[in-house]
C-alpha cells in the first residue's frame, strides 16, 4: 500500500513509525509519506489557514492550500481514496479498517483548529472518517490511529507470536470480542487461571475460548 498523510505536524508521527507493526513493513508492504501542507502553500510565511467567513473563533484550513498540495504531489485531485479526518465523518470500525486495508493507495488529510474549509471535504476528499464521537485538537492522533489499524492488517505486519486472525471484531470470532488471556503465575493472591487452560487439551481450550468470546460479546 502507498499511503500519504497530509499534516501540519509531520514530526508527530516519528514515534509511531519507529514502532512495530509500522517499523517492520515500512518501505516494503507500506510506502508512507508524511507531507506538510506548509511545503505547498504559495501564501506568505507558510500560511495554510485563515479566519472563518461569518466570524467565530479559530482558523480554517484553506481549500486553495490543499488543492495546491494535491496539484504538486498528484498533478490534481487523486483518483484513489482521500480520507478527511473529522469528527463529523463516518465512524471508524474494524469493518472500515478492513475495507481500507484492501486499497492500494490512500491519502489521509488532517487538520487543526476549526477544521477544514468545507470545500476540502466536498470536492477534494472522497470520504470523511471520524475515529469516535468526541473532539480532539488535531487530526494527527486520528491519522495515527487509522495508520496503525490499517498497518496491522497488511501482510507481514504481525510477527508469528502475534495473532492477527483471532482478534476482537474478526470474522474468526464472528465479529465478537476476544476471549480472555492469562499467563504465569497460575495462582496469584488466590486468583486462579481457569483449569481448562492448564489442561493441554487443545480441543477443550478452543471450545472454552469460543464460549468466552460469545459470552463477552452479548453484553
Ligand atoms: C478541534 S477539531 C475541529 C472540530 C470541528 N470544528 C467540529 O466541531 O466538528 C480539529 C481537527 O481535529 C481532527 N479531529 C478531531 N476530532 C476528531 C475525530 N473524532 N475524528 C477524526 N478527526 C478528528 C480533525 O482533523 C479536525 O479538523
- Identify the residue whose C-alpha is closest to ligand 1 atom 12: 138
- Whether the CB of 85 sits within 6 Å of ligand 1: yes
Nearest in space to 92 (alpha carbons), one of 57, 129, 46: 129
Mutate to test the pocket of ligand 1, among 66, 107, 115, 147 (most ligand atoms within 8 A of CB): 115
Phi first, then psi: give them for residue 15, nearest 5 degrees.
-60, -45
Compute and round to an integer the Cα radius of gyration of the chain: 22
Phi first, then psi: give them for residue 182, nearest 5 degrees.
-140, 155
Tell me the C-alpha distance between 35 and 3, whole Å: 11
Predicted local confidence at residue 156, as pLDDT: 87
Q: For 59-87, what is each residue's pLDDT tens digit? A: 999 999 999 999 999 999 999 999 999 99
Tell me the C-alpha distance between 128 and 84, whole Å: 5
- Whether the CB of 111 sits within 6 Å of ligand 1: yes
Residues of the chain with pLDDT under 50: none
Q: Which long-range contacts (CB under 8 A, 24 or more apart) does 126-129 make?
A: 126/81, 126/82, 126/83, 127/81, 127/82, 127/83, 127/84, 127/89, 127/90, 128/83, 128/84, 128/85, 128/86, 128/88, 128/89, 128/90, 129/83, 129/84, 129/85, 129/86, 129/89, 129/90, 129/92, 129/96
Query: What are 24's three cell numbers?
Result: 517492520
- Whether the CB of 121 sits within 6 Å of ligand 1: no
Distance from residue 85's CA to the centre of ligand 1 (Å): 7
Query: E strands within the chain?
Result: 2-7, 31-36, 49-50, 60-61, 81-91, 105-109, 115-116, 127-130, 187-188, 191-192
- Identify the residue whose C-alpha is closest to ligand 1 atom 15: 136
Query: What are 60's three cell numbers?
Result: 480554517
Predicted local confidence at residue 68, as pLDDT: 98
Torsion 118-122-127-133 (CA) sign: positive
Tell me the C-alpha distance between 171 and 60, whole Å: 40
Helix (H), strand (E) counts: the chain: 8, 10
- Whether the CB of 21 sits within 6 Å of ligand 1: no
Place of cell 490534481: 76
Phi first, then psi: give them for residue 129, nearest 5 degrees.
-120, 135
Nearest in space to 170 (alpha carbons), one of 1, 162, 144: 162
Distance from residue 175's CA to the centre of ligand 1 (Å): 28
- Identify the residue whose C-alpha is closest to ligand 1 atom 18: 87
Predicted local confidence at residue 159, as pLDDT: 75
Amino acid at each position: 500500500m502507498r499511503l500519504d498523510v497530509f499534516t501540519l505536524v509531520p514530526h508527530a508521527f516519528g514515534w509511531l513509525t519507529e514502532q512495530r507493526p509500522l517499523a517492520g513493513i515500512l518501505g516494503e508492504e507500506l510506502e508512507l509519506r508524511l507531507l506538510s501542507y506548509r511545503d505547498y502553500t504559495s501564501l506568505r510565511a507558510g500560511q495554510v489557514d485563515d479566519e472563518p467567513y461569518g466570524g467565530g473563533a479559530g482558523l480554517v484550513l484553506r481549500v486553495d492550500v490543499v488543492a495546491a498540495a494535491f496539484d504538486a504531489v498528484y498533478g490534481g485531485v487523486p483518483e484513489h481514496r482521500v480520507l478527511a479526518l473529522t469528527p463529523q465523518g463516518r465512524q471508524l470500525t474494524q469493518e472500515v479498517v478492513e475495507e481500507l486495508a484492501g486499497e492500494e493507495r490512500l491519502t489521509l488529510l488532517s487538520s487543526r483548529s476549526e477544521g477544514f474549509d468545507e470545500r476540502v471535504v466536498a470536492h477534494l476528499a472522497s470520504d470523511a472518517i471520524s475515529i469516535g464521537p468526541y473532539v480532539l485538537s488535531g487530526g494527527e492522533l486520528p491519522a495515527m490511529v487509522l495508520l496503525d489499524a490499517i498497518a496491522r492488517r497488511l501482510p507481514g505486519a504481525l510477527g508469528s507470536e502475534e495473532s492477527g486472525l483471532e482478534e476482537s471484531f474478526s470474522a474468526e470470532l464472528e465479529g465478537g470480542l476476544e476471549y480472555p488471556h492469562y499467563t504465569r503465575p497460575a495462582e496469584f493472591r488466590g486468583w486462579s487461571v481457569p483449569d481448562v487452560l492448564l489442561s493441554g487439551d487443545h480441543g477443550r481450550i478452543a471450545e472454552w475460548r469460543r464460549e468466552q468470546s460469545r459470552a463477552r460479546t452479548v453484553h
